[in-house]
């Protein structure tokens, strides 16, 4: 694209007057009091509108169990899959 005409400083500054970043609006979780995006599930406890949407605690525990199996495998130990679950 070819620049056909130089913009004045005023023109450039007027355009850039809308480029400032705005602070993100946050809501407070009614369950745990953490800050979360409005109309979104709380990422700290998994609550939305007063009920559990995603059981984050169970997810965290399941993830920890998976990671433990991986760590054991790296160490060269065998862990039974039933125990890992």
Contacts with Zn ion by CB under 5 A lie at 29, 31-32, 34, 42, 44-45, 47
- The secondary structure element, H or E, covering residue 19 is none
Closer residue to Zn ion, CB minimum distance, 32 or 53:
32
Q: How far is the CB of 62 from Zn ion (least distance, A)?
A: 20
Q: How far is the CB of 64 from Zn ion (least distance, A)?
A: 20
Cβ within 8 Å of residue 25, ≥6 positions away:
37, 38
Q: How far is the CB of 63 from Zn ion (least distance, A)?
A: 19
Q: Which residues are 51's β-sheet partners?
A: 48
């Amino acid at each position: 694209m070819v620049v056909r005409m130089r913009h004045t400083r005023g023109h450039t500054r007027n355009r850039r007057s809308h480029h400032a970043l705005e602070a993100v609006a946050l809501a407070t979780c009614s369950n745990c009091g953490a800050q979360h995006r409005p109309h979104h599930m709380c990422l700290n406890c998994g609550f939305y509108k007063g009920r559990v949407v995603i059981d984050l605690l169970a997810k965290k525990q399941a993830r920890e169990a998976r990671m433990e199996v991986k760590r054991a495998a790296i160490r060269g130990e065998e862990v039974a899959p039933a125990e890992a679950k």
